Structure 1
């Protein structure tokens, strides 16, 4: 499987290793992410229930954070997770979380975020579960994302991973009737009846 880069003569290979500098040179119609130098592309636009859930969660966070230091962003929004340095040639992981909250304004620049967001929310869609649950889990943990929410619209569930001593610790599985509270965004809570009411 190869992906054609409209801005370069050489095709992009799923087996190649790329950096953020490469990423900036591509002109692709579909959304792509880099995880440890490997290309991951979104096969299709998110489904209706994905967008319903995303809108409710984003709006809840936006309203709660209005006037506060932390800011919430929704995809498409580049989050670069540097390991060695912040140079474009050294960064090999660029992800676009469905929703993320950043409380350190020093991590924001005109290109997006450089460094770990405080809270990341990923909403699963058919076909992306392994990417979210395996690849992104690993890079979010390594980068130091303090809280990682994984929402499964088709199952009406939410799982919270909280960073404890550098490792993610999972919550119980939340579903209808539960109110989920964030340990990182103090005072923020979300009623899952509201989140899943139209899903």
Structure 2
């Protein structure tokens, strides 16, 4: 059920965890805390990422930004709204039930970009795992990225210092590649020629 009393809301705690929300609701919220909506359900985001999380994000995004110089794709780091919907660009705010803020998003179809962020699936999404990530959040994000056609999805595990890469096959299913660690090189099927040494990403 769609709840339409946002004007009266002052804190996140006033939201109904069992309610169903859309991007139209999201646009009206003025909480300091950050939220994501996955298939209509709200997920509280962790407080400001820890220093290590931010450093890893910077290392990866810096490598991607350097690679993208002179190319048509663009990369964005959180906070950056990605609206996922089967209706794609024609969707109205009250028709969008998933709004996420991936740590890093790479978009090559620039028609998907607007002043609010991205509507439709980025070609590449990178998420850096934090202690605050719930198993349900991880599972739901994996599923929604797959369902909406994200071509490549990286899960970066800062604790294990490993990168797990999933590539969408022709059937629309994520195929997991061999985990990458230490002196191995991470590449990307959607960014031909991109290479980064895994050890450099996790360097202290």
Common topology (TM > 0.5) = yes
- Aligned match of 2:56: 53
- Alpha carbons 2:187, 2:195 under 8 Å: kept: yes
Report the alpha carbon displacement of residue 44 of structure 1 after superposing the two structures with TM. 1.7
Check 1:174–1:95 CA distance in 2 against 1; reply closer, same or farther (3 A cut). same
- Aligned match of 1:101: 106
- Aligned match of 2:138: 133
Considering fraction of residues, name the structure with more helix: 2
Check 1:78–1:167 CA distance in 2 against 1; reply closer, same or farther (3 A cut). same
Unaligned ranges ≥5, structure 1:
none
SS of the aligned residue for 1:55 comes to helix
Report the alpha carbon displacement of residue 9 of structure 1 after superposing the two structures with TM. 4.2
Distance in 1 separating the partners of 2:157 and 2:95: 33
- Aligned match of 1:169: 175
Count of aligned pairs? 194
Check 1:111–1:90 CA distance in 2 against 1; reply closer, same or farther (3 A cut). same
RMSD, matched Cα = 1.5
Report the alpha carbon displacement of residue 7 of structure 1 after superposing the two structures with TM. 4.2
Report the alpha carbon displacement of residue 127 of structure 1 after superposing the two structures with TM. 2.0
1:122 equivalenced with 2:127 (yes/no): yes
Question: After the TM superposition, which residues 2-81 of structure 1 pair with which residues of structure 2 at under 5 Å, given as runs?
Answer: 7-9=7-9, 11-81=14-84
SS of the aligned residue for 1:89 comes to helix
Structure 1-normalised TM-score?
A: 0.93
Unaligned ranges ≥5, structure 2:
none
- Aligned match of 1:190: 196
